[in-house]
Structure 1
Amino acid sequence: MTITETEPTFIPVQTRSERFSSTRVDDFDTVNGREATWRYTPVARIAALFEQGLDGSRYDVELRAAGDVTTEWVARDHELVGAAGIPEEKASANAWTTFDEALVVTVSGEAGEAVLARGGLGTANRAAHTVIHATAGSTATLVLRNTGDASLTENIEIVLDDGAQLTLVSVQEWTDDSRHVSTHFARVGRDARLKHIVVSLGGSFIRLNPAIHLAGPGAEIEAYGAYFADAGQYIEHQVYVFHDEQHQRSRVTYKGALQGASAHTVWIGDVLIGQNAVGTDSYEQNRNLVLTDGARADSVPNLEIEIGDIVGAGHASATGRFDDEQLFYLQSRGITEDEARRLVVRGFLVEIVQQIGSPELEEHLQAAIEAELTGNAAGAQSVAGEQA
Structure 2
Amino acid sequence: MTKKRIHTAALSLAFVVFTLFAFPIYMMAQQQTLESINQALRYSRYSRLALKIIPVRENDRTFVLQMPIEKIEENIDFDTYEFAYALLSGFQDPIGPQNLITLSKEDLIADTDFHYFFEKRVEIPEDQEVAIAFLQATDTRQGDVYYYHVDLISAFVFGHPNFWAYYADRVPFDQTFVLKNEALEFKGRSGVNLHAFHYPTLFDAPLPPMEIRPANVPKEVTVNYEGEFFLNTPKSFDKEGYYFIQSDTNSTSGMLVKTVHEAFPKVKTYEEMVEMVVYISTRREHEMLKEANDKKLALDQYWINMLKDEETAKKVIREYFKQIEFANILFTDFKEGWKTDRGMVYTVMGPPNEVFFRPNGEVWSYFSADSNSKITFTFARVKNILTPNYYILNRSRALQPEWFKSITSWRNGQMVF
TM norm structure 1? 0.31
> What TM-score results when the alignment is normalised by the length of structure 2?
0.29
Decide which structure has greater strand share.
Answer: 1
Q: Which has the higher contact order (CA 8 A, sep 6+)?
A: 2
